[in-house]
Amino acid sequence: MINERTFGALADPTRRKILHLLNGGEMTAGELSKHFDISGPSMSHHFSALKQADLVFVRRDGQQLFYSLNTTVFQDLMTVLMDIFAQSNPNGDKKE
Amino acid sequence: MINERTFGALADPTRRKILHLLNGGEMTAGELSKHFDISGPSMSHHFSALKQADLVFVRRDGQQLFYSLNTTVFQDLMTVLMDIFAQSNPNGDKKE
DNA sequence: AGTATATTTAGATGGTTGACTAATTATCTA
DNA sequence: TAGATAATTAGTCAACCATCTAAATATACT
């Protein structure tokens, strides 16, 4: 699920805020855009980045596009970070 | 601990591989560089990015600089990702 | 001091990114 | 079909990023 663009997508604060907003449930592009002082096309660019990063799902209902979190990527991200950071270090194997 | 450059630093595959190598314990800049087909100065640039992102520590011993993982950032990253992705976050104990 | 080794800093270059305005596509309603 | 609304795509531009070579800095050794 995680691809080469996933971390890059997370690197932008606007996109992290979009994801955070989607935490509360799906929202339309327009609703999301209202939370930012950024032009519609620029917002669309961010939505595209999030889509390509597999971080969000999209569905259309009439004129509106509803975005929602792809929460399965969350687990994948955790796994990747664990792989990078969880080390066989002094305390690493301690059970509690 | 996490700053605006942390996610950006993680967005580069070379830097993720550096971090993964450091998982096994501290290594010198030279040792790390041997694992990549990238010039020394470019590697140094990546080390600098990782330092500014608070992802690694550095210590000098003689001519050599030893890099090691800053594992506390791991927890911070987990917390931030949980804040973004974990559905319904009533407690809101954020640590950013 | 002089030389070798380890690493970073400086400067240049091509590619990527984030922003904008203008134009286009998709859909709804009359 | 025409007009309004929602959102994206196209085109542009400045800023940033990853890379390189060359030069500089820091340390060790003789």
> How many angstroms separate the CA of B35 from the C1' of D23?
25
Distance from CA of B2 to the nearest CA of A (A): 12
Please tell me which of the candidates A23, A78, A87 has its beta carbon nearest to residue B71: A87
Please tell me which of the candidates A4, A71, A86 has its beta carbon nearest to residue B85: A71
Per-residue confidence (pLDDT) for residue B8, from 0 to 100: 97
Within 8 A by CB and 6+ apart from B71, the residues are A85, A87, A89
In whole angstroms, how far apart are CA A23 and each of A58, B77, B88, B90? 14, 17, 7, 12
Average pLDDT value for chain A? 91
Per-residue confidence (pLDDT) for residue A88, from 0 to 100: 54
Least confident of A6-10, A48-52, B12-16, B89-93: B89-93
Task: Judge contact between A44 and A32, C-beta under 8 A.
Answer: no
- Residue stretches of chain B with pLDDT short of 50: 89-96
How would you label A26-56 residue by residue, b for 16+ Cβ within 10 Å and e otherwise? bbebeebbeeeeeeeeebeebbebbbebbbb
Per-residue confidence (pLDDT) for residue B87, from 0 to 100: 72
Within 8 A by CB and 6+ apart from B79, the residues are B94, B95, B96
Question: At residue A25, does pLDDT exceed 60?
Answer: yes
Backbone torsions φ then ψ of A40, nearest 5 degrees:
-55, -50
